[in-house]
Structure 1
Amino acid sequence: MTINLTHKIALVTGGNNGIGLAISETLAKAGAKVAINYLKDKEAAARAVESIRAAGGVAEAFQADVTDLQQIDQMLAEVREKLGPIDILVNNAGHMIKRLPNMEMDEEHYGKVMDVNFKSCVFVSKAATSDMIAAGGGAIVNVSSVAAHNGGGPGASVYAASKAAMISYSKGFAKEVAKHGIRVNCLSPGFIGQTAFHATFTTDAARESTISSIPLGREGTPQDVADSVLFFVSDLSAYLTGETIEINGGMFMK
């Protein structure tokens, strides 16, 4: 079955690098017009747009800090003006900031982690939902983490908690908007290579140890996550809402 997202407008937060880039490219390949949100790396966003356009797709880049409500509203206004009302939202933006034990935790670090992972998910979803209600339906996919289940690695407890909050929020929000034909689902990636996250926060020894424990015998790729996003925003998952897909090669099974 070919998944056809022609005439759909998709917003991907943090859509210019790593997992977000793979999601942006995959949705565009399926025919969606893709709004690529970025925070600082304008050059990467421009490359992402050019790559999609070179392949025959439609994409535009939109700079915004998705922890800032005013910037969220401004971004959505610009997306509507350039591409149209939003049908698909992928809340992919997130960060651990740094590994920090709880005994060294301060309020500033706590706020940054919770804001970029959870606050952004809540308020971008809120802002985009009006378009979906007007259209009679839509799809929201929130990108969580296996850390939501196992607490993450050393110094990642608040990050893990923010990702767990995304899963619970997805369930509650799914119940609220189901009557409008809007589906809200979640993805929980495990060890996904080819990303800045593990290049920054994971040692080579930890990477090798983790891969050796994965039943499928390899680390995941950004494309593995993007393919699951495509499933969740397509009619193949028309009767799924409030669910979480674990993308981890069997390292964590529910």
Structure 2
Amino acid sequence: MTSSELVAMTLIDELADRFATRAWVDDPFTGPALPADVAATSPVCPQHEQWSDLELVKTITAGPRTVNELCYTPREPGGKRVPVAVVWDDSGSEKVARVYYNKTFIGGPGSERVRPPVQRPEPHLDLHPTLVAYHSALSTADGPGIVATLAPEFRVRVPNGVYLEGDDVRGQFADRFAKTGGVPLQYVTSTDDGRTAALEFISWRVPPHAGIGVYDPNDDGLIAEFRAYEGPVLPKPGVSS
């Protein structure tokens, strides 16, 4: 066994043990369910035979909440790697977990259904001023306002798992949302360790859906990278995806 295989097996065991301690787990396919039921039915259960490797990409911890960014590698040759985010939430009377990924990566029955909101908004979220400005600009389709919150070196991984490429990614990103009328986004939780912010959200499209966005700032406090965990995401009526 190689050292990388040993690390992956250790991570799988740690995740499985942590899921088992939750009162319930909310998964895009199963919805809120007991850990044993999620382990038996969720396609991103860490022990699922379709995965050959799991990688822990980043951990963000603030207060009673921790967010793990993970990447699942399928056993099938040529299969697409699946970005997964897990929110371990100990803020309430019960310890719970919420899992986020794009269901279209998995396919099969139910993968075409939009995931409804899963978390009530927490009042008075304490967001970095850049994220406040970004949210305002995104919601109002303010292209220049979006650009003003993004670092020149801005990178973005959209819900389909692909990083946008080009000479002006931030302009491309801002233009995309300015032309489609913006995004009716509502942040519902914030896990910010001062280096990275993970924000669960409701996108009030038709139908509304749940997701989480992870934002890495640069030294000037501008957004240097954004990674989205959501999907499927339906385009607005009359707007191509």
TM-score range, shorter chain: under 0.3
The structure with the largest helix share of the pair is: 1
TM-score (norm 1): 0.25
The structure with the largest strand share of the pair is: 2
Q: Which has the higher contact order (CA 8 A, sep 6+)?
A: 1
